[in-house]
Amino acid sequence: MTGLDRMAAVAATEFRLAFRNRWVLLSTLAFTLFALALAFLGSGPSGALKADALTLTAASLSTLTVYLVPLMALLVSYDSIAGEIERGTLALVLATPLKRGELVLTKFCGHLAVLTLAIAIGYGIAGAVIAGVHGATDAGLLAWGRLVATAVLLGAAFIALGMALSGLARQAGTAAALAIGAWLILVVLYDLALLGAVIVDQGGVFTKTMFPALVLANPGDAFRLYNLALIETNAPVAGLDGLARTLPFPVSSALVVLALWLFAGLAAAWALTRRIRP
């Protein structure tokens, strides 16, 4: 009973702080604006297809989400352990009956609640506007719902990663640098490196065997492949996304990858926090 209450206290305080720092407002605004911009300016409904604005925007938004959601997730979580060490509050908190595992788990929950709220509001507003203007089909609503749900899962994986980096760095500045580095590597450079390898390999062994597995192993790519593979449109796909059509694994394996990243991140955050002597 008191165990649950103290865990609720940590999560509530994290949530309240994120709210006070205008963090929720900022990220919600960013998600809404980008989603609307994609719907109405970018690859919005082309005359020929006329199919379903919601589905098409979900497809293009899944690419954008890969950049935006991990960034937001890392920004909200990088300070969580290191910042408390620096401010001296970690020693205070760990002097109370709160266990370290409870601390990691509940901070994670608080961060995730914040990110979920921002994604739900941002994509919710954008989805409602698109549906209002262009109408909505069942398939479109399903694609949109899938996008929002998997974006939350992607965010959760990166929050756990950010907390692990925070526990590793133990200094807020270093943790921020590590978080940006992780984002750059996982979201930007990883894909470039794989594409480069494919080009060099010219359809050889690497492209046929290792490449699909390596793409799927990346949380951002797993998220994108999952969403694109389940959207049946003729929307143009490019680069790694072409793999979505020819993936040699069941589509659900992408979700497994995301879940593995999430659990690995949480386990690392817990293990690293246990080693801290505040």
Partner 1 sequence: MTDAAILSVEDLTIRFGAVTAVDGVSLAVAPGERVALLGHNGAGKSTLFKTVLGFLKPATGRLFIGGAVPGSDVARRAVSYLPEQVVFPKALTGAEVLTHFARLKGVAPKVALPLLETVGIADAAGRAVGTYSKGMRQRLGLAQALIGTPCLLLLDEPTSGLDPVSRREFYEVLEASARAGTAVLLSSHSLSEIENRIDRIAILAKGRLRAEGALADLSRRAGLPIRIRVEAAEGRVEAVQAHLGGERVNGRSVVVTCRAEDKVGALARLAELGSDVADIDIALPDLDDVYRHYSGVTAQGAHQ
Which tokens hold the place of 114? 């914040």
Write down the least CB distance from residue 31 to partner 1, Å: 22
97 binds partner 1 (CB under 8 A): yes
Stretch binding partner 1 (CB under 8 A), from 13-21, 51-59, 132-140, 260-268: 13-21
Contact 221, 191 (CB under 8 A): yes
Write down the least CB distance from residue 145 to partner 1, Å: 33
Q: Which of 188, 117, 187, 105 is CA-nearest to residue 152?
A: 117
Eight-class DSSP state of 187: I
For partner 1, which residue of 49, 91, 128, 188 counts as binding (CB under 8 A)? 91
The Cα 189–Cα 23 span in angstroms is 27
208 binds partner 1 (CB under 8 A): no
For partner 1, which residue of 46, 49, 87, 252 counts as binding (CB under 8 A)? 87
20 binds partner 1 (CB under 8 A): yes
Question: SS3 for 251?
Answer: coil
Write down the least CB distance from residue 165 to partner 1, Å: 21
Question: SS3 for 1?
Answer: coil
The Cα 186–Cα 42 span in angstroms is 25
Size of the chain in residues: 278
98 binds partner 1 (CB under 8 A): yes
> Which amino acid is it at 227?
N
96 binds partner 1 (CB under 8 A): yes
17 binds partner 1 (CB under 8 A): yes
Nearer residue to partner 1 within complex by CB, 93 or 149: 93
Nearer residue to partner 1 within complex by CB, 92 or 189: 92
Measured in degrees and rounded to the nearest 5, phi and psi for residue 191 equal -65, -40
Contact 112, 105 (CB under 8 A): no
245 binds partner 1 (CB under 8 A): no
How many residues lie near partner 1 (CB under 8 A)?
Answer: 24
Write down the least CB distance from residue 170 to partner 1, Å: 14
Buried b (16+ CB within 10 A) or exposed e, 135-157: ebeebbbebbebbbebbbbbbbb
For partner 1, which residue of 47, 88, 132, 203 counts as binding (CB under 8 A)? 88
The Cα 254–Cα 33 span in angstroms is 27
For partner 1, which residue of 37, 51, 94, 141 counts as binding (CB under 8 A)? 94
Report the interface residues with partner 1, using CB under 8 A: 2, 5-6, 8-10, 13, 16-17, 20-21, 87-89, 91-98, 277-278
